[in-house]
C-alpha cells in the first residue's frame, strides 16, 4: 500500500509511519506461525509510532483485519475477541507496559472495524462489537475527556495522551447514545470543581449538541437530564440567542430591546453562568453592550452579590476598562472570573486596584507575546488574553490546574497567591510578561529565572491558562534552583524551600514522616499526633486555619499502590454537614476527584466543599500525608489524641503507600498507651 503524498511532494510524518507499519504487517503475514513472534517487536513499534500521530487511530482501524490475519493477536489474551471482558480494558490501557497499551488500543480499533461493518469477523457480530465498545466507554468515562492524572503521567508518560485520543476517536465513531447520561453526569462532576480551563468540557458539549441534532439518532430512550442546561449555557442561554443565531444577529436584537428586555437577558445569562461555571460567547457580547446602558444591568449580567455590586460602583472606571479590554466572545469565560473577583471584594485591598491599572497598560515582552499567540492565536490580542487570564485566576484561585506537567509546586504557588495575596500574584505576572524574568530571594540571596538551570518540567508547558503559561516556566526554574541550593543539607529540602517560595505565611515548623535517605517511614506516632495538634480543632484549641498551608501527600492509585509525591494546599479543617471532621484542600492536578485506594476516595462535592475544594475525612487525609508545616510556637495537645485513632491511620498507611516502608513494630507501638507530656 503506497503512502499518500502531500501537496509538497514529501510524505507527511503519518504517511511515513503508515508505510513502515504496512511493511511490518506484510513481513509478519509472510512469516510462518512458529516464527511470527520474531516479527512482533517491529509491528508493535510501528503501531505505537502511528498511534501517537493525529489521525493514527483511523489508520490502524483500516488495517485491523490485516493485523489480525497477519497474526498480531495470535496466542495472546486478545486472540478471541468474542470472549473479551469490557471491565478489563481500562486496566490494560493503564498498564505501565507500553506493549500492553498498544495491543489493547489495537484491539479496541479492531472492535470498531467490526462494529462498523468494515471487518466481517468470523466469531464476533457487528452488534456485539458495538455493545462491547459502548460498555468500555461507559466504564472509562474519565479517559474520554479528562487530562491524565498524576498516576498516569508518572506511569505512562506520553502513552497517557494516546489513550485519550483513542477514546475520543471511538466515541466519535460509534456515538454517545449508550453513554450519554453517564457522560453528562461526569461533565457536571468536573464543572462542580469550577476549573479555569474548560476547553475540553466545552468541546465535549459541542460534540454532544451536534450528536443530538442528528435526525438519524434516536434519543427517546435517554433521560438527557442535565444535557439541555449544558448546551443552552453555551449556545442558547436566552430568548435572543435561543437558536444560536450568531453574534451579529444577537447584537442587532439587543439594540432593539427596551430596559426590561435587556434585564431579562442579563439575568438569564448570569443564572446560567453561576449554575454551570460556563460562559456563552453571547454573554460577552451582551456585557460589552450593557457598558453603554447602565451599571445596574452590568451587575445583573454578572450576577453579583451586594459586595460585588458595591465594588462595581466604587471602581466603575476600572471595571469598565477591564471589560472593554478583556471580554470578547473568544475570552467569554473570564466573565465568570470577573464576577467572582468582584464578589470576593479584593478590589478593596489597597494595592489591587493600581496593580490592575498597571496590568491594563502593560507592554508584553516579545517572548511573552509569542507564547500567548502560539497557544491562543492572535484574536483577541495577547494583552487581552493575559488580562482575561488574570481575571479568571483572581476570581477562581482554586481553579488553577497544572495541566499535563510535573509542575504542581508552581501551580500551587499561583493558586495560593491568587487566594491569599492577589497583589503579589499581579506583580509576578508583570515580571514574567513584561521582563521575561522573575527574581525571588532564597535566604536573602536573589535567584533569577533567567540565570537558573532547568526546572522540574523537561519541556515548556503549553496546556495552561494564560497566566500560568507565562509565569510557570519562571517559577519552575526558581523552585528547582532553591532545591539545588539545599543540596547537602540533612532531610527534605521543602523544609527551607516552601516558606521562601510560597510566602511568609507558610509556617516555619516542618514535619515529615519519611527518612529521605532510605525512604522508610519514621516517627509515625509523633507525626500524626502533631498533625492532629496543629490542624484538628479538638486538639489545637479550636483554632481555625488562618492562612492556607503547603503540604505534601503520597499519591496512590485505586489499588492503593504508591505513585509519587504531590504538592497540595490545606485550606481548612472543619466538620462536614454530617458532622464528620474533614480536611478541605486544593489539588492542582486538574481533577481532584480521585480514588486513592483502600476506601480513600477524594470528594469534590456533597460534603460541604466550596467550588474548587477537594476533601477527605481527617483520618483518611492524614493517611496520605507525608509533609506539613506548623507554627512551632503553637504546640496544641498531641498527648490527647487517642492511640486508637493513630493506630487506625497507620493501618491505612500500612495497606497503601507505606506497605514496604514501615519499620517492624510501628503499628504495635502506636497502639501502646501514651504517657501525657508536661
* SS3 per-residue string spanning 463-521: CCCHHHHHHHHHHHHHHHHHHHHCCCCCCCCHHHHHHHHHCCCCCCEEEECECCCCCCE
Q: Is the bond preceding residue 415 a cis peptide, omega within 30 degrees?
A: no
3-state secondary structure (DSSP) of residue 567: strand
CA distance 350 to 342: 14
How distant, in Å, are the alpha carbons of 526, 645, 675 from that of 649? 13, 6, 20
CA distance 343 to 58: 48
Pairing of strands 445-448, 439-442: antiparallel
Element (H, E) at 193: none
Q: What is the pLDDT of residues 434-458, one digit of tens each?
A: 999 999 999 999 999 998 878 787 7
Residue 11 · residue 20 · CB < 8 Å: no
Closest to 468 (Cα-Cα) out of 372, 550, 364, 377: 372
Closest to 513 (Cα-Cα) out of 386, 593, 646, 627: 627
Element (H, E) at 625: strand 625-630
Q: What is the pLDDT of residue 84?
A: 86
Retrieve residue 494's grid coordinates. Answer: 521543602
CA distance 229 to 131: 28
Task: Indicate the Cα dihedral angle 230, 233, 238, 239, nearest 10°.
Answer: -50
3-state secondary structure (DSSP) of residue 32: coil
Count of beta carbons in the 10 Å neighbourhood of residue 13: 12
CA distance 476 to 454: 8
Cα 490-496-500 angle, rounded to 5 deg: 165
Cα 97-100-105 angle, rounded to 5 deg: 130
How distant, in Å, are the alpha carbons of 309, 351, 579, 611 from that of 357? 20, 10, 45, 28
CA distance 267 to 273: 10
3-state secondary structure (DSSP) of residue 603: strand
Closest to 323 (Cα-Cα) out of 290, 296, 294: 290
Residue 678 · residue 638 · CB < 8 Å: no
- Region of 267 please: left (phi>0), alpha (psi -120 to 50) or beta: alpha
Q: What is the pLDDT of residue 644?
A: 96
pLDDT lower than 70: segments of the chain: 1-11, 145-147, 149-154, 156, 177-178, 211, 214-225, 663-678
Q: What is the pLDDT of residues 195-211, one digit of tens each?
A: 999 998 898 888 778 76
To the question of pTM greater than 0.85 for the whole model, the response is: no
Q: What is the pLDDT of residue 666?
A: 52
Residue 407 · residue 476 · CB < 8 Å: yes
Amino acid at each position: 500500500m503506497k503512502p499518500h503524498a502531500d501537496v509538497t511532494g514529501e510524505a507527511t510524518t503519518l504517511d511515513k509511519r503508515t508505510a513502515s507499519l504496512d511493511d511490518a504487517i506484510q513481513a509478519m503475514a509472510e512469516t510462518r506461525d512458529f516464527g511470527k513472534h520474531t516479527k512482533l517487536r517491529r509491528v508493535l513499534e510501528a503501531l505505537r509510532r502511528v498511534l501517537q500521530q493525529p489521525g493514527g487511530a483511523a489508520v490502524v482501524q483500516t488495517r485491523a483485519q490485516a493485523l489480525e490475519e497477519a497474526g498480531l493477536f495470535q496466542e495472546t489474551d486478545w486472540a478471541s475477541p468474542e470472549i473479551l471482558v469490557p471491565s478489563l480494558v481500562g486496566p490494560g490501557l493503564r498498564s505501565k507496559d507500553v506493549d500492553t497499551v498498544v495491543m489493547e488500543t489495537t484491539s479496541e480499533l479492531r472492535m470498531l472495524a467490526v462494529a462498523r461493518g468494515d471487518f466481517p469477523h468470523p466469531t464476533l457480530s457487528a452488534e456485539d462489537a458495538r455493545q462491547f465498545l459502548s460498555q468500555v466507554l461507559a466504564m472509562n468515562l474519565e479517559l474520554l475527556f479528562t487530562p491524565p492524572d498524576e498516576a498516569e503521567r508518572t506511569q505512562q508518560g506520553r502513552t497517557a495522551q494516546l489513550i485519550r485520543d483513542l477514546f475520543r476517536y471511538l466515541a466519535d465513531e460509534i456515538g454517545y447514545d449508550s453513554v450519554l447520561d453517564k457522560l453528562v453526569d461526569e461533565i457536571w462532576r468536573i464543572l462542580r470543581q469550577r476549573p479555569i480551563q474548560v476547553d475540553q468540557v466545552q468541546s465535549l458539549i459541542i460534540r454532544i449538541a451536534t450528536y443530538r441534532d442528528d435526525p438519524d439518532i434516536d434519543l427517546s430512550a435517554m433521560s438527557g437530564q442535565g444535557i439541555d442546561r449544558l448546551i443552552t449555557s453555551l449556545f442558547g442561554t436566552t430568548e435572543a440567542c435561543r437558536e444560536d443565531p450568531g453574534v451579529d444577529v444577537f447584537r442587532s436584537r439587543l439594540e432593539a430591546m427596551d430596559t426590561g428586555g435587556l434585564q431579562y437577558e442579563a439575568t438569564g445569562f448570569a443564572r446560567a453562568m453561576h449554575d454551570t461555571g460556563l460562559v456563552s460567547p453571547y454573554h460577552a457580547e451582551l456585557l460589552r453592550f450593557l457598558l453603554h446602558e447602565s451599571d445596574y444591568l452590568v451587575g445583573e449580567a454578572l450576577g453579583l452579590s451586594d459586595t460585588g455590586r458595591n465594588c462595581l460602583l466604587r471602581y466603575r472606571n476600572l471595571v469598565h476598562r477591564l471589560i472593554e479590554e478583556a471580554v470578547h466572545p473568544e475570552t467569554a469565560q473570564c466573565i465568570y472570573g470577573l464576577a467572582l473577583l468582584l464578589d470576593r471584594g479584593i478590589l478593596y485591598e489597597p494595592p489591587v486596584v493600581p496593580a490592575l491599572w498597571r496590568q491594563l497598560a502593560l507592554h508584553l515582552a516579545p517572548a511573552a507575546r509569542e507564547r500567548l499567540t502560539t497557544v491562543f492565536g492572535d484574536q483577541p490580542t495577547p494583552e487581552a488574553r493575559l488580562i482575561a487570564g488574570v481575571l479568571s485566576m483572581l476570581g477562581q484561585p482554586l481553579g488553577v490546574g497544572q495541566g499535563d506537567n510535573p509542575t504542581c509546586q508552581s501551580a500551587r504557588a499561583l493558586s495560593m497567591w491568587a487566594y491569599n495575596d492577589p497583589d503579589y500574584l499581579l506583580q509576578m505576572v508583570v515580571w514574567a510578561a513584561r521582563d521575561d524574568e522573575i527574581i525571588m530571594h532564597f535566604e536573602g540571596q536573589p535567584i533569577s529565572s533567567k540565570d537558573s538551570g532547568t526546572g522540574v518540567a523537561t519541556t515548556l508547558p503549553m496546556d495552561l491558562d494564560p497566566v500560568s503559561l507565562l509565569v510557570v516556566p519562571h517559577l519552575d526554574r526558581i523552585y528547582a534552583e532553591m532545591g539545588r541550593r539545599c543540596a547537602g543539607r540533612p532531610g527534605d529540602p521543602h523544609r527551607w524551600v516552601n516558606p521562601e517560595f510560597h510566602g511568609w505565611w507558610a509556617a516555619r515548623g516542618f514535619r515529615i514522616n519519611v527518612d529521605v535517605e532510605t525512604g522508610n517511614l519514621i516517627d509515625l506516632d509523633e507525626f500524626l499526633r502533631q498533625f492532629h495538634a496543629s490542624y484538628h480543632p479538638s486538639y489545637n484549641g479550636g483554632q481555625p486555619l488562618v492562612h492556607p498551608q503547603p503540604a505534601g501527600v503520597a499519591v496512590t492509585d485505586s489499588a492503593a499502590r504508591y505513585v509519587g509525591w504531590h504538592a497540595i494546599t490545606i485550606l481548612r479543617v472543619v466538620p462536614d454537614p454530617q458532622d464528620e471532621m474533614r480536611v478541605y484542600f486544593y489539588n492542582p492536578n486538574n481533577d481532584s476527584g480521585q480514588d486513592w485506594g483502600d476506601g480513600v476516595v477524594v470528594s469534590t462535592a456533597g460534603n460541604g466543599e466550596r467550588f474548587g475544594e477537594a476533601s477527605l475525612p481527617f483520618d483518611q487525609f492524614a493517611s496520605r500525608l507525608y509533609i506539613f508545616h506548623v507554627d512551632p510556637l503553637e504546640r496544641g495537645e498531641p498527648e490527647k489524641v487517642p492511640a486508637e485513632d493513630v493506630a487506625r491511620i497507620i493501618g491505612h498507611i500500612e495497606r497503601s503507600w507505606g506497605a514496604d516502608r514501615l519499620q517492624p513494630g510501628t503499628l504495635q507501638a502506636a497502639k501502646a498507651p501514651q504517657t501525657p507530656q508536661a
